[in-house]
Amino acid sequence: GANELGLTFPRPNVFIPTENGLKLKLPPKPKIFKAQRTFEERMTPIPPPTVIRDDGSSGRWTVYYKPDDVYGQPKAFVIFELLTSKVYSSAKTAALSNMYEFCVADKLTEYAYDAGLAGLTYDVRIIPRGVRLTFGGYNDKLQDFAKYVSKQITTDLKNILPKDEAEFDRYKDILLRGFEGFNVKQPYAHCSYYTALLMKPPEFEYDNTDLLKATEEASLTDLVSYVDSVWSSGKGIALVQGNVDEKQALALVSTIDKTLGFKPIPVEEYPPELTPVPLPKSAVNSMGTKLVISEPNAENVNAASYVSIQGLSEDPKEHVMMELVGNIIGDPFYDELRTKQQLGYIVSSGVRAVGKTKSMGFIAQSSTAKNDKLTTEIFKFLDTVRPRFLEKLGEGDFAVYVKSLIDRKTEPDKTLATETTRNWAEISSGRLQFDRPQREVQALLDLTKEDLLEFWDSLYVKDGRRILITEMVPQVGPTSSSKPATSTGYDTSNFELTNSKSASMVLGIDDIGAYRRNRSQIV
């Protein structure tokens, strides 16, 4: 029989929801996803989450809640964030946070497997402003699951952290290999990484080299000490959304609160929100700020260039104008550099958010053209944007681009997870503009072609533009050239390029740290 062969049935899965637990709290509204929605329906904001617990700015929790009356599924999502400046204050703490995340994922794999089969998910992330726990799935067993996971990662640490130095070294080796893998990425990915790095303050992202060094130096004692401090104090923010009533939502937060047991902090100790590092202003006849780096992968024969135009405005009108320009010139940019000039297979452009601001990026990678040639061709294209594309834009074409962007922004969320993610983005950023799509659409409706021309002039055409060029120079192949200097002697006092109107600030890889520290001090 089965027993003689050593065969047994799988143990019961305690996370499978009961029949009673699959009942809906609120019936879904009819026709919410109908194919044709009127413009008025599109412009009606979705009801936002409401605050159901507010302990004050120096208190423990602010809890947002929204019941599901749209998707008709017995599911919920719970997101907890503990705001604390302790977890990401240095490259060392950032490296230890990576190790802690890895330990959690590794040790909870078996337990989370059954939960995953039953439709439950979890995520533990250390982020620059604190720690975030996310739980989702069928609401019937969600509270039990969240309680267990949060208990394991906070109080039952002996089950999570490495049991001895040998296990710690194994984890460290895996993480180090991950950092070392950075070098074999494609040059365009390196360009994108260093562009993002230069636009963020030091405490929001640490250089790969610094993280590798900090990981090498970390010890098991450091990790234990770090994890003890992670949950010691902070400000709790939570969003509960889905098939739960208000009483259940508060009970869920209360359960997690008892498990975490952190001390509240005054508002002065909140970690700062992400604000981009401002690029120096530059004149029209200069290239702005340039970072030139030797491609770390010695065998890659491709050169790459990334030109970023920084916008520091938080105005939704300027944001939608940047998106609109991006939509108008995206295909022509690809057609010019990829199809006509055949500079390389990787040519793209887009708009990237940094904190509450947006920037435009243009990237090209080539095995036939050198990095300075790529940069020159990108600028040649950008110099023609006004006369070739914006000035010639007819009323009809302008309306088509505007309508396309409006349709995209007013597209309804298709899943509970999507809507929860959008709501959480507003909460975690501190913006709380849950009607953002409608605000942006209103800005688009008021837009004129003249507005767009004025915007492009101020962003790119006139003096005072903020531009960053990031180039990767290959070590071998036809696009290689002499190895760029690792430092150009970045002058910390030279905040703006005022000495020479046509000057460009050139940086080497070793100048990045000083540049970020000094530029992030500029308000």
Question: Residue 218, SS3?
Answer: coil
Q: Is the pLDDT of residue 251 over 70?
A: yes
Task: Name the least confident of 11-20, 268-277, 466-475.
Answer: 11-20
At 390, list the tokens. Answer: 């914006």
Hey, what's the torsion of the CAs at 319, 323, 329, 335, to 10 degrees? 140
Confidence of residue 30 (pLDDT cuts 50, 70, 90): low
Whether 141 contacts 118, CB under 8 Å: yes
Summarised one tens digit per residue, pLDDT across range 108-139 is 887 888 889 889 999 999 999 999 999 999 99
Judge residue 269's burial from the number of C-beta atoms within 10 Å of its C-beta, 0-12 exposed, 13-18 middle, 19 or more buried: middle
Q: Which of 271-285, 318-332, 394-408, 480-494 has the lowest mean pLDDT?
A: 480-494
Residue 500 has pLDDT above 50, yes or no: no
Which band of pLDDT confidence, cut at 50, 70 and 90, is reported for residue 315? very high
Q: How many whole angstroms separate alpha carbon 292 and alpha carbon 298?
A: 16
For range 183-188, the mean pLDDT: 94
Q: Which residues pair with 472 in a beta bridge?
A: 293, 304
pLDDT of the residue at 21: 81
Cβ atoms within 10 Å of 304's Cβ, excluding its own: 29
The 3-state DSSP class for residue 205 equals: coil
Report the pLDDT averaged over residues 330-358: 93
Q: Are 363 and 347 in contact (CB under 8 A)?
A: yes
What's residue 6's pLDDT? 74
Task: Give pLDDT, residue 264.
Answer: 94
Domains of the chain: 11-28+49-269 (3.30.830.10), 281-520 (3.30.830.10)
Residues with Cβ within 8 Å of 133's Cβ and at least 6 positions away in sequence, in order, are 78, 79, 80, 81, 122, 123, 124, 146, 149, 150, 256
| Percent of the chain scoring above 90 in pLDDT | 67
b/e map 9-45, b = 16+ CB within 10 Å: eeeeeebbbeeeeeeebeeeeeeeeeeebeeeebbee
What DSSP state is assigned to residue 20? G
Burial of 339 (0-12, 13-18, 19+ CB in 10 A): exposed
pLDDT for residue 31: 57
- Entry field: residues in the chain: 523
SS3 letters across 408-441: HHCCCCCCHHHHHHHHHHHHHHCCCCCCHHHHHH
Residue 251 to residue 231: CA distance in whole angstroms: 20
pLDDT for residue 450: 95
* pLDDT band per the 50, 70, 90 thresholds, residue 310: very high
> What is the mean pLDDT of the segment spanning 61-88?
92
Residue 319 has pLDDT above 50, yes or no: yes
Mean of per-residue pLDDT scores for the chain: 90
Taking the mean position of all CA atoms in its chain, how far away is CA 185?
19
Highest mean pLDDT among 50-54, 431-435, 488-492: 50-54
Nearest to 365 by CA among 405, 318, 306: 306
Q: What is the pLDDT of residue 153?
A: 86
Is the Cβ–Cβ distance between 393 and 327 less than 8 Å? no
* pLDDT attached to residue 44: 83
**The 3-state secondary structure of 123-163, one letter per residue:** EEEEECCEEEEEEEEEHHHHHHHHHHHHHHHHCCHHHCCCC
**Helix/strand/coil for 351:** strand
The one-letter amino acid at 419? E
SS3 state of residue 36: coil
Angle at 370 between CA 368 and CA 372, to 5 degrees: 150
| Tens-place pLDDT, residues 411-465 | 888 899 999 999 999 999 888 999 999 999 999 999 999 999 999 999 999 999 9
| Consecutive H or E run containing 117 | helix 109-117
The one-character DSSP state at 338 is: I
Q: Which amino acid is at 125?
A: R
Separation between Cα atoms, residue 309 and residue 458, nearest integer Å? 11
**Residue at token pair 């050139």:** 506
Residue 191 confidence (pLDDT) above 90: yes
Tell me the average pLDDT across 96-108. Answer: 91
